[in-house]
Chains A and B, each alone.
Chain A
Amino acid sequence: MSGRYALDSGCVVKVPRALGACSANKTCNIIRSRLPLASSTYFHTATVFSSQPSSITVTKEPDALFQRVSLLVKGHDKSVLDSYELFATMAAKELGIAISKVCELPKDTERFTLLKSVHIFKNHRVQYEMRTHYRFIELSHLTGSTAQVYLEYVQRNLPEGVAMEVTKTAMEKVPDHILKPMWEEDPIDNKLSQG
């Protein structure tokens, strides 16, 4: 059973790969030399490659397996959803997650008619509508750790005014108590229930 990765509280991850570390450190140094401001302004790049070594703890708890993780993203602006879809698909590709479906569901329009005036003038109305656009992204074969990482990344970068529904289908083995009927071992219980 593969283990679960957890980050120690307060510590920061250390990139284990040599290639990645080299180039990243280079850019990190460049950033630092240009503007010796607080590293909090560049928390994405600078703090990731900090000098403090951290540990990735692997717990003994078995990793969950998700056969399918589907994201339904809803928003009022289609172009924002387009950009977000680009971002989500690219992130999935970079992390090595299989994308099975990306599609655009037809939009929903909610319309209502109100009276234009505060008092009387029933013949003069004003109509409003609210359009909700959708984007559906389906990913398949994710482990629990990968799903957690990807979903947190994608949800932290959710733009303003956009909502998301994530449906996860976890796979589980048949538990031990359903493998055989219990009446074979304990016939007494059967008799009791009959009487």
Chain B
Amino acid sequence: MASHTSRGLLSLGRISASALGLQRPLSRVTYATNVSTNYSAGKTGLPDRGAGKFARRPRRAPGEPRTEKMPVDQDWTAVYPAAAPFRPGSVPLPVRMGYPVKRGVPPEKKGNLELIKIPNFLHLTPAAIKKHCEALKPFCTEWPSALDTDARCDAHFPIKAESTDYVSAGPSVRNPAARTVHLKVKLSSLNLDDHAFKKMLKLVGERYCRDTDTLTITADRCPLRQQNHDHAMYLLTVLYHESWKTEPWEAEKSVADMEEYSWEDSPSQRNLLDTLVRVEAAGEGGGGGEEVREQLLGRREVQEYKDSVTRLKNEGESESTVMLYKEAVKKVLNL
């Protein structure tokens, strides 16, 4: 039944066309009706669109792709002005991508999903980048020419504040690690005297690196980066002012608290002077106590011994320091 009505409708619809004498629509009509007669009423699966009320207009053949009409010297930034998926009809390149079948070649670009999946940089050709940068240039400022080298930068701007930004795709744009701030200062650039420097080292502990003379303060206890930066500056200020203060209990500093080894009033000095005094006494048979000690201290070999022992203790054991110590001992004891 449906097929009969459809044929009738089709014929009605095409009357005007046939009146004009066009042959093609008639042939199309016959094609459509042929299709509709095949679909009998028994088949209830898919609705027979060909015989339905709204006759499906047959698809027109796709024209030739745009790549054929593209001139060689065209403006590519107009073809791909922004990030867009790969369009085989817009890219005049014979690109092939994909794993080839046996004894075959990689598939062509037409209908190639691999080319669409991979991010393309067709919108970022050198010409496009130059155009973009030309437009962005007015917003950039120049670096001051007086700060070419790192040394000059450190001299004028000794405090460095380091922070990290994170860009990634995911359920959230935020990254909790972005709020940390590292403040790095060279203690030589701060106004610290000897006592203040030593007290500062004791206050900061592990945050100071001896090799680079850098104090690193890391702040991440506040939720915002600006707050962490202010907190780090506050910590630096407090450390500085506290290290200049001299508390009464600091007078109880003992030899164990000293940062560096000093030879004066050390067991090494006492031992050496005792030994030398006894040597002198054995040689000459008598002499004053204190004056002899001072005389001995003034001697060159004793000074050399003092230097070598101080170096050994402060710098640690290495070939040069141990050799120096050996030479000094030999000279002092006249070996």
Some 7 contacts from A to B, beta carbons below 8 A apart, are A4-B141, A15-B138, A67-B157, A87-B124, A141-B148, A159-B121, A181-B240
A-side interface mostly: mixed
Q: Are B129 and A87 in contact (CB under 8 A)?
A: yes
Task: Name B130's contact: one of A94, A168, A190 (CB within 8 Å).
Answer: A94
In the complex, A96→B131 CA distance in Å? 14
> Which residues 87-116 of A sit at the B interface, judged by CB distance below 8 A?
87, 90-91, 94-96
In the complex, A34→B74 CA distance in Å? 12
In the complex, A31→B75 CA distance in Å? 9
> Which residues 184-201 of B sit at the A interface, judged by CB distance below 8 A?
189-191, 196
Task: Name A149's contact: one of B81, B136, B167, B237 (CB within 8 Å).
Answer: B136
Q: Are A181 and B196 in contact (CB under 8 A)?
A: yes
> Which residues 54-82 of B sit at the A interface, judged by CB distance below 8 A?
75, 77-78, 81-82
B24 interface hit (Cβ, 8 Å): no
Q: Are A165 and B165 in contact (CB under 8 A)?
A: yes
Point out residues on A near B: beta carbons under 8 Å: 2-5, 7, 13, 15-17, 20, 24, 27, 30-31, 34, 41-45, 48, 56, 63, 65, 67, 77, 80, 83-84, 87, 90-91, 94-96, 141-146, 148-151, 153, 155, 157-175, 177-183, 190, 193-194
Q: Are A181 and B159 in contact (CB under 8 A)?
A: no
Q: Are A80 and B119 in contact (CB under 8 A)?
A: yes
Mark B109-144 against chain A: 1 for CB-CB distance below 8 A, else 0: 000000000110100101011111111111111111
Q: Are B160 and A56 in contact (CB under 8 A)?
A: no
Inter-chain contact total with CB atoms closer than 8 Å: 183
Q: Are B141 and A5 in contact (CB under 8 A)?
A: yes
B35 interface hit (Cβ, 8 Å): no
Mark B138-167 against chain A: 1 for CB-CB distance below 8 A, else 0: 111111100110100100111111111111
B138 cross-chain contacts in A, Cβ below 8 A: 5, 13, 15-16, 56
Q: Are A44 and B128 in contact (CB under 8 A)?
A: yes
Q: Are B119 and A63 in contact (CB under 8 A)?
A: no
In the complex, A94→B118 CA distance in Å? 27
B-side interface mostly: mixed
A67 cross-chain contacts in B, Cβ below 8 A: 150, 153, 157, 160
B316 interface hit (Cβ, 8 Å): no
Q: Chain B: interface residue count, which band?
A: 35 or more
A77 cross-chain contacts in B, Cβ below 8 A: 118
Which 4 A-B pairs have CB atoms at the shortest separation, nearest pair first? A181-B244, A94-B133, A159-B119, A171-B157
Q: Which residue on chain A has the smallest CB distance to residue B247? A: A194
What is the distance, in angstroms, from A9's C-beta to the closest C-beta of chain B?
A: 15
Q: Which residue on chain A has the smallest CB distance to residue B83? A: A157
A172 cross-chain contacts in B, Cβ below 8 A: 157, 159-161
Q: Which residue on chain B has the smallest CB distance to residue A64? A: B161
Mark B76-112 against chain A: 1 for CB-CB distance below 8 A, else 0: 0110011100000000000000000000000000000
Q: Are A163 and B141 in contact (CB under 8 A)?
A: no
The answer to whether A174 and B190 touch (CB under 8 A), given A5-B138, A95-B137, is: yes
Q: Are A171 and B78 in contact (CB under 8 A)?
A: no
The answer to whether A2 and B161 touch (CB under 8 A), given A27-B75, A42-B81, A179-B191, is: no
